[in-house]
Amino acid sequence: MLPDEIRATIGEWLATGEVDLFIGWEPGTVPLTATPAFVRRPDEVDRLIWDATCEHNLARFVRPYRDKTVGIMVKGCDARALIGLMQEGQLKRERLRIVGIGCDGVIDPRRVCERAGVESVEELDGAQLEGDVVVFGDLRIPVAEVLFAGCETCHQRDPQVYDLRMGPEHDETSLADRYAHVEAMAALSEDERWERFTSEIAKCNLCYACRNACPFCYCNVCFAEQTNPQWLTPTAHDPDVSFFQIIRTFHLAGRCVACGACTRACPQGVDLRLMLDKLCADVAELYDYVAGEDPEAKPPLTTYRQDDYNDFVL
């Protein structure tokens, strides 16, 4: 359940037509994972929840309703995605009613599996979240010990845009913590980096779950599915998988907000942060820009300036 004042306001938005739809989370069927909820009537508001199982980035679901006024619940990373979509002209602020949530991080069920000694999330049936503890049989695990890796290094846990605010407030932390694994990768030799990349990509079976979960993969036709020209064949062979992941990563340069939706969605456990955070770090260093932080900022890779650096042009 949400705080009474938040539920009341969402209900009023729906009752008065302030919003046509409200997107939040409700209890799901997968253990320790809430599911997106699409609420259209005031009497449905009680379905909505907020806790550490609410991992999905709901910004992914707004674009199909952009001709309507939509209410939405967002964590800090989700809010960055909304900002990015507004910067790209995909959403309008005046058509959004945002409930911002200060987030301490969300549960990674796979880490719970490791602690519980089971192989799959489905085997966690019966696991419950009780306050800040995950309870599974006789096992009690502090939530802080089983967060997604990206949550542990999140530098901005609070949303930058909102109409209503709930949850704790946090101080922003250094980007250095967020990019520590990037620095560790860069410290490897060229051969070691290639081995690390290929061993990670070898897990991918080209199911496109990462693309489908990403708020910024909104092309009407993905390059992976174009047939004229055909850029790749949809197989799990190494060349196709590597090509897809590399090109998708570069398509997100200067746009990725490090929400981790792609990595969380991957059924094979591919750590896509290895590539995406590298480009995030490069954009921060070269352009002093962090995607989704400032609604007024101009994304550097989609903005033309007459004084742009162009010494690389032959």
Mean pLDDT for the chain overall? 92
Phi, psi of 70 (to 5 degrees): -120, 135
Range with the lowest mean pLDDT among 85-89, 180-184, 206-210?
180-184
Cα–Cα distance for residue pair 151/20, rounded to 1 Å: 31
Dihedral sign for Cα atoms in the order 30, 34, 40, 41:
positive
- pLDDT band at residue 174 under the 50/70/90 scheme: confident
Kindly report, residue by residue over 85-135, the tens digit of the pLDDT.
Answer: 999 999 999 999 999 999 999 999 999 999 999 999 999 999 999 999 999
List the structure tokens of 224.
């992976």
pLDDT at 265: 93
Residue 312 in this model has a pLDDT that exceeds 90: no
pLDDT at 1: 77
List the structure tokens of 41.
């009537």
pTM of the model: 0.91
Look at residues 72, 75, 68, 29 and name the one whose alpha carbon lies nearest to residue 52: 75
pLDDT at 227: 83
Cβ atoms < 10 Å from Cβ of 28: 17
- pLDDT band at residue 261 under the 50/70/90 scheme: very high
Cα–Cα distance for residue pair 212/167, rounded to 1 Å: 28
List the structure tokens of 54.
């609410």
Q: What is the mean pLDDT of residues 181-191?
A: 92
Range with the lowest mean pLDDT among 12-21, 168-177, 249-258?
168-177
Cα–Cα distance for residue pair 49/37, rounded to 1 Å: 9
Q: What residues does 98 pair with on adjacent strands? A: 72
Look at residues 284, 201, 292 and name the one whose alpha carbon lies nearest to residue 249: 201
Task: Specify whether the CB–CB gap between 254 and 287 falls below 8 A.
Answer: yes
pLDDT at 176: 67
- pLDDT band at residue 314 under the 50/70/90 scheme: low
Look at residues 178, 189, 206 and name the one whose alpha carbon lies nearest to residue 267: 206
Q: What residues does 23 pair with on adjacent strands? A: 38, 72
Kindly report, residue by residue over 122-152, the tens digit of the pLDDT.
Answer: 999 999 999 999 999 999 999 999 999 989 8
pLDDT at 212: 95
Task: Give kind and range of the element (H or E) at residue 94.
Answer: none
Task: Specify whether the CB–CB gap between 110 and 116 falls below 8 A.
Answer: no
| Comparison of pLDDT for 51 and 306, the residue scoring more | 51
Kindly report, residue by residue over 242-252, the tens digit of the pLDDT.
Answer: 999 999 999 99
Look at residues 248, 297, 100, 283 and name the one whose alpha carbon lies nearest to residue 175: 283
